[in-house]
Amino acid sequence: MSALPNPPRVVNVGLDLFADALAQLRVPVVGVDWRPPAGGDATLAALLARLETRRAEIDAANQRAFDILVNGEPVLLDCRPAREAMELPDRLVLHSGPPIAWERVAPPVRAAILCAIRYEGWAANDDAAAELIVRGDVRLEPCHHRRAVGPMAGVLTASMPVFVVENRAHGNRAHVTINEGLGKVLRYGANDASVIARLTWLAQEAGPLFGAALRASQGIELRPLMAQALRMGDEMHQRNVGASSLFVRALMPHVARVADRHHAAARLAEFLAGHDQFFLNLAMAAGKSMVDPAGGVPGSTLVTTMARNGTDFGIRVSHFGERWFVAPVEMPVGLYFPGYGPDDANPDMGDSAIVETIGLGGGAMAASPAVARFLGAGGVAEALATTDAMREICHAEHPHFRIASLDERGAPAGIDVLRVVETGIAPIINTGIASKVAGVGQVGAGVVRAPLGCFTAALEALAG
Amino acid sequence: MSALPNPPRVVNVGLDLFADALAQLRVPVVGVDWRPPAGGDATLAALLARLETRRAEIDAANQRAFDILVNGEPVLLDCRPAREAMELPDRLVLHSGPPIAWERVAPPVRAAILCAIRYEGWAANDDAAAELIVRGDVRLEPCHHRRAVGPMAGVLTASMPVFVVENRAHGNRAHVTINEGLGKVLRYGANDASVIARLTWLAQEAGPLFGAALRASQGIELRPLMAQALRMGDEMHQRNVGASSLFVRALMPHVARVADRHHAAARLAEFLAGHDQFFLNLAMAAGKSMVDPAGGVPGSTLVTTMARNGTDFGIRVSHFGERWFVAPVEMPVGLYFPGYGPDDANPDMGDSAIVETIGLGGGAMAASPAVARFLGAGGVAEALATTDAMREICHAEHPHFRIASLDERGAPAGIDVLRVVETGIAPIINTGIASKVAGVGQVGAGVVRAPLGCFTAALEALAG
């Protein structure tokens, strides 16, 4: 007989040990997953406490940055060589992620940079190309410094065609290369003749046709298209089949109208028909156009950039504008193509985490249970849990990007440095995986965490 | 103090009265929603009991019919005038649903039939057209009797282009008109000059271009495309945006290749770009091609056709092959366009319920929470409940049409007459709503139940 007049009802706060013991005795327990702020790190907790005194000011600044971030109106206007669209000079190679010295560049990124120099005709072979970089005759710069983003290696040079996205709410523009498709492609560090042949086709036939069609279209609005695709199972990082299909459907009338050689239109349509991930680059440029105006809001602790170059992971925080906070990249976990495994993978790379920065990708996993198979067991429960975790570190729910399976709740958006450090939850990013060996290309796809070091560094600067 | 040593635990079977009283006293109750078979109808219960003695034979037959139904391999091969593709003679008008005498035809269907006669040039005006029918100089016949299906009024005549779908697993073919789009369209009973102008464009430009492109494609496989669309939020009756977009992406390379006039290709691409429901007709033809070989399996109680002509609802049951079981159609409930309401609606019509017959539409609502807004409150819970209800009356889960939000469970498929009568759950069908007034067109969209009378009639025949 119990000594209590009624059976006990227990709320367990923090560690599960006590709860587990009671559960074994069949006593009902409600668990509260409380953890000390910043995982109990006294220094970080003190910094968080210091910022807590400025809470109202920070909240207001974050709301301003959030409103800019989520209400951008990206419109796809054109496709032109980077030389024209971005005034990109010769002898400059853009890459993904934060700035990096040549000596520290990871092998697949290095392979892509050298291949691009050959493609441009600045050097005849990789040795000569590397020599140009070492001598300073070809310079490296992040895409993000030139109003651009690049997937994986993110390599972009003057003669490559770029899509031009304008954020009509603010008038700023962003640029991105045409996604090359799967297989042996530059962005994964492949560098043979087939890679250059495809780049040539993109520059000489596909790019000009995209450009003419887009100019004829008066612009294609991307935000409604992305909102629609999110209702079609795309999180728009690992899965873009809905967005790619909607985009092709919107574009093809204009391609058909402007194409003076119907075989060119047929080749373009064929390329698009076989390419479910085509839209990724457009989602990235849309994201870049949406986050750039959200940078530089004084007092805002929201993340406006997450980007990786295969060696370092960098974030930028609204309050600090264009300043980078950098830490070593993590290794993705995921599923590998036959014949490859974790030992073959290069650490995380690419500007594509811009997608997570605007509330899609990992944070929108609940919309995309098919993508959750990269998360161990995979499935609906894992997908929901991922979105729940991201909600804990985000400012609010996106007013336009809504998730049908959550009864139209918005995807969590506006990653907050303070919440990341306080909870210890690092943003989760869906990603492709490149071989660590130059020239091989993609070996898998999976998920990766942003390193907490970027966020604690930003916190120290904010509280300093 | 309780007289019992432990608090009571109650399982309540059947009516909720006792459970409700206990719940008010805060006694935990588990409810079992038991109802007497066939709603307590002694005659029907006796028929069910008689068939129960043949259970093993019926189960085996149903498994055979189910395997045929779900494993069809519909491939879209061509688009040609019905005169060529179906050998449809002149002076014959096909319509949706079971056979019906002219006097009983509902006003919107009547309007569409007369408009088609004018379109064909068999009569100069509606009065003359009606006179042809009354005199027997133009005959009426169901689409289903001619290896075809038609949405809403389902009107089909010799010069209209039809898509040709072949079920490669069985070699049979099915046909359907090109979906005209929204607005003033023949299938909803609109009948003015704009309707005829669009039919003329479909016959003279769009149809031949579809046909040439499809012949160049060597056929587009529809089942994998439909399975993919189901993962994109389409249930393929009320929502086809995913399937339509995937189809356009697959088709456009062939259109671009065969188009000798690029303005024609541009007009076709434009028509498709603005038409989210385009794929519905293709899903219907795919469905028709899949169900036809499942008809005529001796002993099978599975439904192979559900179709409505605006007056009667008819089903066909595998065991009985082409025999119809008919009852009056129900009135849909749903959402109406501004200015219209339930008083403006014609009762249920169209062969489109073929979609529900193959496991999509209402039964796949869990894949398509956006469509559940037609169900009163709407949302994820209603969508799941609808699929759960259909599962109770279906033979099994579809091996190819899987629902991502249910962790890849198959959509319920193979509606079983015995289960429908036993549970009293009438199949739910997603549908458009036509005005009851000739010439108006669509006034809304919603859901409707198949009338139980068809199923009890089939049960009587099966047990007789």
Q: Does B245 touch chain A (CB under 8 A)?
A: yes
Range of A218-227, A432-441, B8-17 with top mean pLDDT: A218-227
pLDDT digits (tens, 9 = 90+) for B258-281: 987 779 999 999 999 999 999 999
As a whole number, mean pLDDT of residues A1-11 equals: 69
Question: Smallest CA–CA separation between B5 and chain A, in Å?
Answer: 11
Q: What distance, in Å, lies between the first and last C-alpha atoms of chain B?
A: 59
pLDDT at A3: 65
| Chain B residues inside the 8 Å CB shell of A266 | 253-254, 256-257
> Which of the four pLDDT bands, split at 50, 70 and 90, describes residue B30?
confident
| Chain B residues inside the 8 Å CB shell of A273 | 249-250, 252-253
pLDDT at A399: 98
As a whole number, mean pLDDT of residues B133-156 equals: 98
Residue B183 in tokens: 């607005």
The answer, yes or no, to whether residue A34 has pLDDT greater than 80, is no
The minimal CB distance from B242 to the residues A242, A369, A405 is found for A242
Q: What is the mean pLDDT of chain A?
A: 94
Contact at 8 Å (CB) between A26 and A438? no
Residue B37 in tokens: 């078979």
pLDDT at B21: 81
Interchain CB distance below 8 Å, A370 and B404: yes
Question: Smallest CA–CA separation between A316 and chain B, in Å?
Answer: 34
Contact at 8 Å (CB) between A329 and A349? yes
DSSP letters for B2-38: -SSSS---EEEES-SHHHHHHHHTT--EEEE----GG
Contacts 24+ apart (CB under 8 A), A376-385: A379/B407, A379/B408, A380/A405, A380/B404, A380/B405, A380/B406, A380/B407
Lowest model confidence (mean pLDDT) among A179-183, B23-27, B367-371, B455-459:
B23-27
What pTM, to 2 d.p., does this model score?
Answer: 0.93
* Chain A interface test: which of B218, B244, B261, B262 (most A C-beta within 10 Å): B262
As a whole number, mean pLDDT of residues B57-67 equals: 98
Interchain CB distance below 8 Å, B256 and A269: yes
| Chain A residues inside the 8 Å CB shell of B266 | 253-254, 256-257
Task: List residues bridging with B156 in a β-sheet.
Answer: B94
Class of domain A47-68+295-463: alpha beta
- Rounded Cα distance, B247 and A68, in Å: 36
Q: Which of A125, A109, A102 has its CA nearest to residue A193? A: A125
Q: What residue spans in chain A does CATH classification 3.90.1710.10 cover?
A: 70-286
Contact at 8 Å (CB) between A128 and A137? no
pLDDT at B3: 65
Q: What residue spans in chain A does CATH classification 3.90.1700.10 cover?
A: 47-68+295-463
Lowest model confidence (mean pLDDT) among A169-173, A180-184, B227-231:
A180-184
The answer, yes or no, to whether residue B245 has pLDDT greater than 80, is yes
- Rounded Cα distance, B66 and B394, in Å: 10
Q: Which of B198, B195, B188 has its CA nearest to residue B438? A: B188
Q: What residue spans in chain B does CATH classification 3.90.1700.10 cover?
A: 55-69+295-463
As a whole number, mean pLDDT of residues B179-208 equals: 95
The answer, yes or no, to whether residue A1 has pLDDT greater than 50, is no
At the second CATH level, the architecture of B73-286 is: Alpha-Beta Complex (3.90)
pLDDT digits (tens, 9 = 90+) for B326-343: 999 999 999 999 999 999
pLDDT over 70, % of chain B? 98
Q: Does B249 touch chain A (CB under 8 A)?
A: yes
Task: List residues bridging with A78 in a β-sheet.
Answer: A164
| Burial classification of residue B348, based on how many CB atoms lie within 10 Å of its CB (0-12 exposed, 13-18 middle, 19 or more buried) | buried
pLDDT at A377: 67
> Which of the four pLDDT bands, split at 50, 70 and 90, describes residue B1?
very low
- Rounded Cα distance, B256 and B253, in Å: 5
Residue A19's SS3 state is helix
Interchain CB distance below 8 Å, B252 and A257: no
Q: What residue spans in chain B does CATH classification 3.90.1710.10 cover?
A: 73-286
CATH superfamily of A70-286: Enterococcus faecalis V583 domain (3.90.1710.10)
Residues 6+ apart with CB under 8 A from B151: B96, B176, B179, B187, B280, B281, B284, B350, B351, B352, B432
How many C-beta neighbours within 10 Å does residue A151 have? 28
pLDDT over 90, % of chain B? 87
Q: Does B26 touch chain A (CB under 8 A)?
A: no
pLDDT at A21: 81
CA A166 to chain centre: 19
pLDDT digits (tens, 9 = 90+) for A384-429: 999 999 999 999 999 999 999 999 999 999 999 999 999 999 999 9
Interchain CB distance below 8 Å, A273 and B253: yes
The answer, yes or no, to whether residue B17 has pLDDT greater than 70, is yes
pLDDT at A375: 72
Interchain CB distance below 8 Å, B252 and A232: no
**Cα A48 to Cα A42, A305, A397, A461, distances in angstroms:** 10, 21, 23, 12
Range B55-69+295-463 has CATH code 2.60.40.1260: no
Amino acid identity of B407? D
Q: What angle do CA B342, B275, B227 make, to 5 degrees?
A: 95
Q: Which helix (H) or strand (E) segment is A84 a member of?
A: helix A82-85
- Rounded Cα distance, A346 and A344, in Å: 7
